[in-house]
Amino acid sequence: MTLEPRLRDALTDVARRFAAADVDYYLGGSLMLRLRGYEVGVGDIDVVVGAADRMRVVQALETLDTRTQHGGEPWRTEWLLRTTIETDSGSVGLDVMGGLALVIDGEVARFPVTYRDHVDLGDCRVPLGDVAAWYHLYRVHNPARAAVVAGRLSDDEIMAAAERLSIAHVFSPTLIVRIGSVPELGMTTATERFNQHER
């Protein structure tokens, strides 16, 4: 998917800085979804790194105005560095989450810095976060977006992500909500879809 210049240039800048500083990371949030083909608005760039990489991140962004803060409820992220990337095509906010974690279904779910795919932006390779894991993050943080994200995921993919986040024991396929799975219902749970099929 084509990105507007300010997003493309800012993400390329971040990717180059992190590559030079040997920061292991992946792209999450709305920009990750956009690059996966979801039609969502993008407000800023969200990047996930390991909690121990704080100084590498600060060094990589040393020419930028940075400040560090912790997230509030339901977040359990170790640290959050929030700044702005300035490029010739415009400015974009950047949130770097060190040791991303938050409370989901009463359990602390930790998001490891692992990824299976990427996109290439010119000479930069940008790792993409696990969209099924981010479905669970959005269930807490932005339920409407979670319903949209789930529209392209199977129940098995969502449950596998719950396993990876160690929350499968408190999560069931009956809790999965999607928008547009059954047109006349608009928003449906897995249980409603099963019952609709049985009628």
Band of residue 96 on the pLDDT scale cut at 50, 70, 90: very high
In Å, how far are 39, 147, 167, 177, 180 from 188, measured between CA atoms? 20, 9, 22, 5, 8
For residue 195, name the pLDDT band (cuts at 50, 70, 90): very low
Tokens representing 17 are 């800085």
Query: What is the fold of 1-129?
Result: Beta Polymerase; domain 2 (3.30.460)
pTM of the model: 0.86
Choice between 132 and 122, residue whose per-residue pLDDT is larger:
132
Extents of the domains making up the chain: 1-129, 132-199
Q: What is the pLDDT of residue 188?
A: 45
